[in-house]
């Protein structure tokens, strides 16, 4: 049984998909899990406490102030009980409260109090899901390390068809299984006392006050690494080129623009660190000169003279001493050879290779497909959420830090 003995705290919110939660509970129990249910006030409109209690074999908790014999403080007790906190279905309202740290009911207090991994299975009408505020809230939660179970497309409560249905029960279960399996070989505070430097995002190399040379990096991989490292107890400095992402909670972010700025910031912060993870997409070249005034079309421009940027990872690699260095290699062919070349050139301990030609890898998407390469081995990982990739990279790093 894949979830034998695992304690799943299922939080049910007030969306129509709550009618599926009795089945979800059944399937979790069938895999050996213990389940307790908390619900919001509105959830009661869609599923009864009797059903949830009978199926979960535990009382249902809804009231933050309900007297309890079991725990001195209900929300803290439940938060500590959980091996995993699963919000399914998660409404726009609850996601918004979680994203903003509001805690006006039992569910949201548990969210703030728990140290367990958290997953959400959103369910709402498509227009709500696509609302910029909801999108921003979801992005914030994902950056904070909340696991995301993507809603599906199909008939919605309104009768319209669109994206927003809660994921099928089997998908929810398999996401839970995966999350707990990843969690087995790591966990809370295993990076306690460690200091990490992470680079993220693109660098922009100015040509004049208006134009620059840049690249397509969204910063998602570096931000995922920084947020997971922080969640696991590390103190993290992230040197980030310009991105549209919000800073992960608790991470010190040093914003930079060009490769030269990034080099300077990295050199300032590498000293006290145990390791550096170089996830930024640094421009290899910059314009040889930057004009103070806007270049005019009439002046003509046949070509742009470029000069080479310093290789920040190679510089840190040469200086690293006992510290560890992780580089990335983004390739479009002959990946392993290229990764090994970079391993040597940068004096890295391992290289995270991603092949842009694989579906689900690369810029702007939330997933990645990577191979962890060192001098002696290569470990190909399946396509997974960037947060899970981040955890796997951190596992690999930790193994080397403690050995």
Least distance to ligand CTP from the beta carbon of 328, Å?
4
State the catalytic residue, choosing from 215, 309, 354, 368: 215
Stretch touching ligand CTP by CB under 6 A, among 92-100, 182-190, 277-285, 384-392 = 277-285
Please pick, from the candidates 144, 311, 388, 391, the single residue that binds ligand CTP as defined by CB under 6 A.
311
Least distance to ligand CTP from the beta carbon of 399, Å?
20
> Is residue 58 flagged as an active site residue?
no
Q: Kindly determine how many residues on this chain lie close enough to bind ligand CTP according to the rule CB under 6 A.
A: 15
Smaller CB separation from ligand CTP, 192 or 337: 337
Contact criterion met (CB below 8 Å) for 224 and 387: yes
Say whether residue 309 binds ligand CTP (CB under 6 A). Answer: yes
Question: What is the Cα–Cα distance from 57 to 35, expressed in whole angstroms?
Answer: 8
What percent of the chain is helix, strand and coil (3-state, nearest 5)?
A: 35, 25, 40
Say whether residue 280 binds ligand CTP (CB under 6 A). Answer: yes
Binding mask 314-353 for ligand CTP (x = CB under 6 A): -------------xxxx-----------x-----------
Say which residues have a Cβ less than 8 Å from residue 386's Cβ, sequence separation at least 6.
Answer: 220, 221, 224, 366, 367, 368
Instruction: End-to-end CA distance of the chain: give it in Å, rounded.
Output: 33
Cα distances from 325 to residues 220, 302, 393, in angstroms, run: 20, 40, 12
The closest of 221, 193, 182, 242 to 327, measured between CA atoms, is 221
Question: What is the Cα–Cα distance from 312 to 173, expressed in whole angstroms?
Answer: 42
Least distance to ligand CTP from the beta carbon of 262, Å?
7
Query: Which positions from 120 through 159 interact with ligand CTP, judged by CB under 6 A?
Result: none
Smaller CB separation from ligand CTP, 327 or 387: 327
Q: How many beta carbons lie within 10 A of that of residue 228, not counting itself? A: 26
For helices 49-56 and 21-30, the axis angle rounded to 10 degrees is 10
Least distance to ligand CTP from the beta carbon of 335, Å?
10
Please pick, from the candidates 56, 114, 199, 240, the single residue that binds ligand CTP as defined by CB under 6 A.
199
Supply the residues annotated as catalytic: 215
Report the interface residues with ligand CTP, using CB under 6 A.
199, 259, 278, 280, 282, 284, 309, 311-313, 327-330, 342
């Amino acid at each position: 049984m894949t979830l034998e003995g695992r304690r799943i705290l299922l939080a049910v919110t007030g969306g129509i998909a709550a009618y599926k939660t009795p089945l979800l509970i059944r399937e979790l129990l069938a895999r050996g899990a213990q389940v307790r249910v908390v619900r919001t006030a509105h959830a009661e409109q869609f599923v009864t406490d009797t059903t949830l209690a009978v199926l979960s074999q535990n009382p249902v908790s809804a009231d933050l102030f309900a007297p309890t014999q079991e725990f001195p403080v209900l929300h803290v007790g439940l938060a500590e009980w959980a091996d995993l906190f699963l919000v399914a279905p998660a409404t726009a309202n609850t996601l918004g409260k979680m994203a903003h740290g509001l805690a006006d009911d039992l569910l949201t207090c548990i969210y703030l109090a728990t140290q367990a991994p958290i997953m959400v299975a959103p369910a709402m009408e498509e227009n709500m899901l696509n609302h910029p505020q909801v999108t921003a809230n979801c992005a914030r939660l994902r950056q904070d390390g909340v696991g995301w179970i993507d809603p599906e497309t199909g008939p919605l409560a309104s009768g319209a068809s669109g994206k927003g249905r809660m994921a099928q029960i089997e998908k929810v279960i398999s996401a839970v299984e995966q999350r707990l399996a990843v969690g087995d070989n790591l966990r809370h505070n295993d990076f306690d006392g460690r200091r990490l430097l992470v680079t993220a995002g693109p660098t922009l190399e100015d040509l004049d006050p208006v134009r620059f040379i840049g690249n397509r990096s969204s910063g998602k991989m570096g931000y995922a690494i920084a947020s997971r490292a922080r969640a696991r107890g590390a103190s993290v400095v992230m040197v980030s080129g310009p991105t549209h992402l919000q800073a992960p909670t608790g991470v010190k972010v040093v914003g930079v623009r060009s490769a030269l700025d990034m080099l300077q910031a990295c050199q300032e912060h590498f000293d006290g660190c145990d390791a550096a993870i170089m996830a930024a997409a640094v421009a290899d070249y910059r314009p040889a000169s930057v004009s103070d005034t806007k270049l005019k079309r009439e002046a003509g421009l046949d070509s742009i003279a470029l000069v080479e940027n310093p290789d920040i990872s190679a510089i840190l690699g040469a200086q690293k001493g006992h510290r560890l260095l992780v580089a990335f290699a983004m390739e479009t062919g002959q990946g392993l050879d290229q990764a090994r070349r970079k391993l040597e050139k940068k004096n890295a301990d391992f290289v995270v290779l991603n092949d842009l030609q694989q579906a689900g890898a690369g810029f702007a998407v939330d997933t990645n497909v990577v191979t962890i390469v060192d001098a002696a081995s290569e470990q190909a990982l399946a396509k997974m959420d960037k947060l899970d990739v981040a955890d796997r990279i951190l596992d690999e790093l930790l193994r080397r830090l403690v050995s």
